Amino acid sequence: MPKPNLRLKLALVMASTFTCQAHADEITYANNIIVLPEVEVTERADSQIGLADSASQGNVGQAQLKYRPISRPGEILETVPGLIASQHSGEGKANQYYLRGFNLDHGTDFLTQIDGVPVNMPSHSHGQGWTDTNFLIPELIKTLSYKKGNYDAAAGDFSSTGSANIQYFNELPEHSIKFTGGSFDYYRGLVTGSQAAGAGQLLYAAETVHNDGPWTVGNDYQKFNGVLRYSEEHGDSRWHITAMAYQADWKSTDQIPQRAVNSGLLNRFASIDPTDGGASQRYSLTGDWQRQTETGISKFMAYGIYSQLRLFSNFTYFLNDPVRGDQFAQPDDRWVSGFKASHGFYHQIGKAESETTLGLQVRNDNIHNSLQLTQAQQIYETVRDDQLWVTSISPYLENHTEWTDWLRSTVGLRFDGFRFNVADSNRAENNGDRLDGLVSPKAGLVFGPWAATEFYLNGGLGFHSNDARGVNTRVDPATGLPTDASGNAVKRADPLARTYGAEVGVRTAWIDKLESTLSLWWLDIDSELLFVGDAGSTEASRPSRRYGVEWANYYSPTEWLTFDADLSYSKARFRGDDPAGNFILGSIETVVAAGATFHDIYGGFFGSTRLRYFGPRPLIEDNSVRSKSTLLLSALVGYEFNKHWTLQAEAFNLLDSQNSAIDYYYQSQLSGETAPVNDIHFHPVEPLSFRLSLTTKF
């Protein structure tokens, strides 16, 4: 009888992510019977030794999420060690993300998925890779699995710093009604549950949220959100179909200049243009099917999404138009369709047990977006108006092999082919159709375990796509000239920007009940041209290099108490010498996230504290202007009276710190100023606030 292989054990019972559970006690492999124990990898506390391909991958489950104070859905992604989700505008807008020396803007270079469906939006009106996670419902999340680096053959566009896949439950243990009220007119109502229906389970959730925030001009954020899922399991196969609907509208308090606060013209929570704001919608339908047998596992999923955004912003106030102001609109309407198919089969290479997966991913975005000049949300000029088609096809192959008791390998190969088609109704010179493709090899080695410790070596090539408009731009969209406002020639962007990454790491559970990982990583990006949605033009970026260290720890001394502490440091620089300097604007350097969680003590008490710190960042290339650091402390405490009633309280920014959620340095002009001024522009963190929730289950 061959020795049971942990990877084959996992593969035979896995779902669409690393979340897995065995449904059979034994399987047949190589004409022998291997008795498998139940395998479940859904929580951060579950050891990844023998399963993980790198030191920087892991899982976070509902057991951690339900005790975590979360002020907005995007903070779910902060469970990825080293990742920061911030905000510089109204609550309905996509978060600003930071990871591994990147200011990821609204999602570029970090791939986010929900049940395998990509959330990132290419060629979005407000930024490449737009990742709006406001439709997420934290109580429905079964697990969040993450992989950092560009070493995963199944992850393509936007995944150079890593990827996360959020998986919803198919079934909930009970029905529940939850109501939350809190500071600044925050209200939330949530109804969830599941029940048997036919041969399967019907899961439902409905949510509504209102939030004004501390702003002088209240956000008046109103969200309606719903999920409906039907799922069935039959022997070796299972499937589900999921419908989601989300709608929100809000007013925005965007970043404000430091000089206006210092002079007393504005308070920290004031707005310069009270008509900024937005509205968004997202509707999706997804089908997923999986079949696992003793010889392999097959998966197929297809999805369709309709999304719409109406966004009005004013970041420079009266710099470009002293009379009407600089507000602009960025509408984006799109239909997204795609599918993913893969088949993994188990075999042997000599005497080594092996698993090979063949996959195919196809996606198409049919987009209509614009850049418009507005005053109080009234359009007076259209800078550009585009119909875009962005289509990609991506076959890949990946092999996992366990060569000995102490050595296993992962090798992968991925091809990504793209078509970018643009029809600009304002400037026919910017119309076009371009094709491009890249082959990206991946590889990894795992050594061990020895003394409950494994060592990892990973490397790979990746990429991110550029905006279709920048890919085809030949003239400045505002002037129609072949030069931009600085007199530089307008250049078409490279369709796909290559990235190169590597990582060495260690994972250990040598100390009882403590799992620690340490990784040293490096990432280079080729010279690229990025589309600047706020200006409707392209902007050159030099080649860059980032490297850093990450240390993550999870300790459970008892069943009711856990501690976690994650530290990361990154260094980001442009390659080559430039008189302007080599620092990359907004690149995050130091992140510390730590917390303690307790549950089921003194009858039914539970709670947690969370500390989040991210350090100063360069705001100009020569590093002469830097942001300040941000430190936030939050807490949650609750009591479960019985199986039907639970009361909990959350407190955010317990130290009432007056830090910034985000900082920029650029030129703007206020009403009454006679010339532009270079200044720090910031969006403050919300002050000390509280929320109280009552949940009933039945």
Amino acid at 101: G
What is the reported pLDDT for 18?
35
* pLDDT tens profile 155-184: 999 999 999 999 999 999 999 999 999 999
Cβ neighbourhood burial of 580 (10 Å; 0-12, 13-18, 19+): exposed
* pLDDT tens profile 274-332: 999 999 999 999 999 999 999 999 999 999 999 999 999 999 999 999 999 999 999 99
Res. 108 pLDDT band, cuts 50 70 90 = confident
* pLDDT tens profile 211-234: 999 999 999 999 999 999 999 999
Average pLDDT for the chain: 91
* pLDDT tens profile 352-376: 999 999 999 999 999 999 999 999 9
Q: Does the pLDDT value for residue 482 go beyond 60? A: yes
Task: Select from 632, 565, 558, 640 the least CA-distant residue to 598.
Answer: 558
Q: Does the pLDDT value for residue 440 go beyond 60? A: yes
* pLDDT tens profile 507-537: 999 999 999 999 999 999 997 655 454 554 5
Task: Select from 374, 259, 256 the least CA-distant residue to 315.
Answer: 256
What is the reported pLDDT for 12?
36
Q: Range with the lowest mean pLDDT among 6-20, 46-60, 546-560, 644-658?
A: 6-20
What is the reported pLDDT for 223?
97
Query: Which residues, 6 or more positions from 621, have their beta carbon under 8 angstroms from its beta carbon?
Result: 574, 578, 580, 581, 582, 583, 584, 585
Q: Range with the lowest mean pLDDT among 26-30, 63-67, 577-581, 656-660?
A: 26-30
Two tokens, residue 187: 């209200």
What is the reported pLDDT for 372?
96
Could you give the CA distance from residue 481 to residue 317 in angstroms, rounded to a whole number? 25
Amino acid at 216: T
What count of other Cβ atoms lies within 10 Å of the Cβ of residue 674?
6
Q: How far apart are the first and last CA of the chain?
A: 48
Task: Select from 335, 313, 405 the least CA-distant residue to 681.
Answer: 313
Two tokens, residue 31: 């004409």
Q: Does the pLDDT value for residue 443 go beyond 50? A: yes
Mean of the pLDDT values across residues 375-384? Answer: 95
Question: To the nearest whole percent, how much of the chain has pLDDT over 70?
Answer: 91
What is the reported pLDDT for 44?
61
- Stated length of the chain: 698
Task: Select from 495, 523, 519 the least CA-distant residue to 506.
Answer: 519
Reading phi first (left if > 0) and then psi (alpha if -120 to 50, else beta), residue 544 is in beta
Cα torsion 17, 19, 22, 28: sign = positive
What is the reported pLDDT for 25?
38
Amino acid at 170: N
Give Cα separations from 201 to 195, 198, 232, 674 (angstroms).
6, 8, 6, 65
Class of domain 6-697: mainly beta
User: Can you give the three-state secondary structure of 6-30, one letter per residue?
Assistant: HHHHHHHHECCCCCEECCCCEEEEC
What is the reported pLDDT for 538?
54
Higher pLDDT pick, 647 / 64? 647
DSSP codes of every residue in 219-250: --EEEEEEEEEEEEEETTEEEEEEEEEEEEEE
Q: Does the pLDDT value for residue 4 go beyond 60? A: no
What is the gyration radius of the CA atoms in the chain, in angstroms?
A: 25
Res. 487 pLDDT band, cuts 50 70 90 = confident
Query: Which residues, 6 or more positions from 117, have their beta carbon under 8 angstroms from its beta carbon?
Result: 284, 286, 301, 303, 305
Task: Select from 341, 374, 335 the least CA-distant residue to 358.
Answer: 341
pTM, to two decimals: 0.92
* pLDDT tens profile 466-481: 999 988 988 888 788 8
Could you give the CA distance from residue 664 to residue 675 in angstroms, rounded to a whole number? 19
Q: Let me know: does 157 contact 392? Beta carbons within 8 Å.
A: yes
Name the E strands within 542-675.
544-558, 561-574, 590-601, 605-614, 630-640, 645-652, 660-668
Amino acid at 462: G
Cα torsion 7, 12, 17, 18: sign = negative
Mean of the pLDDT values across residues 336-340? Answer: 98
Res. 655 pLDDT band, cuts 50 70 90 = very high
Q: Does the pLDDT value for residue 2 go beyond 70? A: no
Could you give the CA distance from residue 88 to residue 252 in angstroms, rounded to a whole number? 9
Strand partners, 300: 289, 341
Helix (H) or strand (E) holding 259: helix 258-262
What is the reported pLDDT for 288?
97
Q: Range with the lowest mean pLDDT among 11-25, 49-63, 223-237, 494-508?
A: 11-25
What is the reported pLDDT for 314?
95
Question: To the nearest whole percent, how much of the chain has pLDDT over 90?
Answer: 82
What is the reported pLDDT for 308?
97
Cis peptide before 69 (omega within 30 of 0): no
Cβ neighbourhood burial of 38 (10 Å; 0-12, 13-18, 19+): exposed
DSSP state of 79: G
Two tokens, residue 333: 């309407």
Cβ neighbourhood burial of 3 (10 Å; 0-12, 13-18, 19+): exposed
Strand partners, 678: 667
Task: Select from 657, 661, 653, 666 the least CA-distant residue to 682.
Answer: 661
Res. 578 pLDDT band, cuts 50 70 90 = confident
Q: Does the pLDDT value for residue 485 go beyond 50? A: yes
